[in-house]
Structure 1
Amino acid sequence: MSAPRVLVTGANGFVGEAVVFSLLLNKRFSPIAAARGSTRLNGLCPVVSFDLIDSASLPSLADVDVVIHAAARVHVMKETAADALAEFRKINVEGTLRLARHAADSGVTRFIFISSIKVNGESTAEGQPFKADDAPAPSDAYGVSKYEAEESLKRLSRETGMEVVIIRPPLVYGPGVKANFLNMMRWLDRGVPLPLGSISNQRSFVAIGNLVDLIITCISHSAAAGQTFLVSDGEDLSTTGLLRRLARALGKKPWLLKFPQGLLVAVASMLGRRAFAQRICGSLQVDIHKTRELLSWKPPVNLDDAMLKTASHYFKEQSK
């Protein structure tokens, strides 16, 4: 029996590339990488060109069994589009549905959609983590677009019978991580004093290895069909705790100044960075009980090991 053929979109991105590499190592599946632009996967597996916004670039899905859809217009800190929601919809909703319809028409049996915890909302109250089946409450354009894509996929699944699996990760980190997580590593590496020594929030994170393991589990697990899953490392941290654990992985002593949270948000607001401060100080926890129980899954990578791998890659890149 031939290995199931799995097409992964966004294969030159952080999550998509990691999925393809893991599928190659797994050897139980035959991956096909769909990417816009260059990719390190050339020569390792079949690579096809794919752009979500270009209706003419739909990849051939003949004999493809499963699509893992990781390509997206991602959340950006400094939005420049005049109508951000319209731009997100073009790619994350219309592009996703176009691909999914093509998949259903081509006989693909399962479509795994990498969504976002932002579908649930931006923050959680103390002791009230998000659950997979909570009523969605997205508040920004990115989160709204991911929610609308989820709803469109569910309707398509009912119409066509193609199985849809939705995964909503929180912040994903690991070797090659960018954005705020990379900035935190740089600050700690350089010994920058940070006014973040007394933040008592709780946030969930997910190592790329844990997210990829769940995605691969969902390729063939019968109980995954038609479900929405949340994912995390299974250990939540305050921002202060995260910085301390990350500093330890980097072999650095963190310079964390005790600064009242309220004052921190007030100062950030005056500097036009209120939203950033609220993310740093606010809580966002996820409950992965459903994921554990329904799939008999648990995070295979512990948080400290994942941070060590992330730090090691960071230093390797710094030495180039």
Structure 2
Amino acid sequence: MEITITGGSGFVGQNLIRYLKDANQVQTLSIRYSFNNKLEVKGDVIIHLAGKAHDLKKVSSENEYLEANFELTKELFNAFLKSEGKDFIYFSSVKAVADKVSDVLYEDEEPKPETIYGHSKFKAEEYILSQEIPSGKRVFIIRPCMIHGPGNKGNLNLLYNVVKKGIPYPLAAFDNQRSFLGIDNLNFLVKAILEDPVIPSGIYNFADDEFLSTNELVSIISKVLKVKDRKISIPKSLINRLARVGDLIKLPLNSETVQKLTESYRVSNNKIKDVIGIDKLPYTAQQGLEMTIKSFIHK
């Protein structure tokens, strides 16, 4: 199978290339800001990973997000429709649907993105879904939740450093549940789609099977580091007051940090498992996180 991957230099791209290259011919394609409408794609499969991720410093404009996540996707997808390729896999995001989830996020949730990042991803989804797909082609929109894996700290970095330095985690009074996605489970799901021609086109969430609380995550990190599990249950009302002070004088403990660490964001992966025909993914959420944390120690 000939597979073309955009965004091959990124964390997910590098892992997918390593995972797929033994049994397939894998090549990368750079499409950054081409906009020439002459883009040609080759291969049986196009896996589109390239794009602009969250801007944690909040200095990027809406136009930058739209160019990278919408316009480039539109150009690449148009090229795929004209090509002899059979499968197009677009990596969108759960943030294309919702920034906050009160229950569990399923694929049929009405998209209401709140950030310019989520909006740009949704615009790309909207365009793909508006096009007529020729017979013999399949199109997959993948919505992964927070991806992690060996060598990629991502949003785990803050918690990892807190535990590593022996600083007590002060938000144990908050009870939440979050979804994660280990890179090994992501690789497995992509391969399963490619190897089964019966799996239909559609939108699919990618997430590990289990939901974990931030308190459980702190315990996992402590276990891997072999340090004491230090958690403190400071009353929520006091934490919220301290966070508001942090907003004013730019402290690490502020309202945004508290929200990120304590909010729930649960994502269902039932649809993709059903079409593949499995009950469980190869790795549990805890196993995936343990492998990721272990990789930090040896860096």
Fold shared per TM-score above 0.5: yes
* CA spacing shift, 1:284–1:254, aligned 2, 3 Å: same
* CA spacing shift, 1:198–1:6, aligned 2, 3 Å: same
Aligned to 2:286: 304
Q: Is the 8 A contact 1:120 1:137 kept in 2?
A: yes
One of 6, 13, 19 as aligned partner of 2:10: 13
User: Percent same amino acid among aligned pairs?
Assistant: 26
* 1:77-96 equivalent positions in 2, closer than 5 A: 77-81=56-60, 84-96=61-73
Cα displacement (A) at 1:235: 0.8
Q: Is the 8 A contact 1:51 1:57 kept in 2?
A: no
One of 150, 169, 191 as aligned partner of 2:144: 169
Gaps of 5+ in 2: 248-253
CA distance in structure 2 between the partners assigned to 1:167 and 1:251 by the alignment: 36
CA distance in structure 1 between the partners assigned to 2:4 and 2:288 by the alignment: 26
Aligned to 1:55: 35
**Count of aligned positions:** 291
Tell me the alpha carbon deviations over residues 90-149 of structure 1, each in whole angstroms, 9 at most, x when there is no partner: 100001111111122222111101111112212222xx2010111112111111111111
Secondary structure of the structure 2 residue equivalent to 1:8: strand
Aligned to 2:51: 72
Aligned to 1:188: 163
Cα displacement (A) at 1:209: 0.6
* CA spacing shift, 1:80–1:103, aligned 2, 3 Å: same
* CA spacing shift, 1:14–1:263, aligned 2, 3 Å: farther
Read off the aligned partner of 1:9 and give its amino acid letter. T
One of 250, 274, 283 as aligned partner of 1:293: 274
Secondary structure of the structure 1 residue equivalent to 2:99: coil
Q: Is the 8 A contact 1:165 1:218 kept in 2?
A: no
Aligned to 1:230: 205
Q: Is the 8 A contact 1:247 1:254 kept in 2?
A: yes
Q: Is the 8 A contact 2:73 2:124 kept in 1?
A: yes
Q: Does 1:104 align with 2:86?
A: no
Cα displacement (A) at 1:193: 2.5
Secondary structure of the structure 1 residue equivalent to 2:298: helix
Read off the aligned partner of 1:178 and give its amino acid letter. K
CA distance in structure 2 between the partners assigned to 1:20 and 1:225 by the alignment: 24
Aligned to 1:251: 226
CA distance in structure 2 between the partners assigned to 1:265 and 1:91 by the alignment: 36
Cα displacement (A) at 1:179: 3.1
One of 110, 129, 132 as aligned partner of 1:154: 129
Read off the aligned partner of 1:278 and give its amino acid letter. Q
CA distance in structure 1 between the partners assigned to 2:3 and 2:183 by the alignment: 19
* Root-mean-square deviation (Å): 2.0
* CA spacing shift, 1:277–1:150, aligned 2, 3 Å: same
Gaps of 5+ in 1: 35-49
CA distance in structure 2 between the partners assigned to 1:237 and 1:67 by the alignment: 33
CA distance in structure 2 between the partners assigned to 1:266 and 1:224 by the alignment: 50
Tell me the alpha carbon deviations over residues 7-61 of structure 1, each in whole angstroms, 9 at most, x when there is no partner: 1111111111111110024x1x221133xxxxxxxxxxxxxxx143233698752
For normalisation by structure 2, the TM-score amounts to 0.90
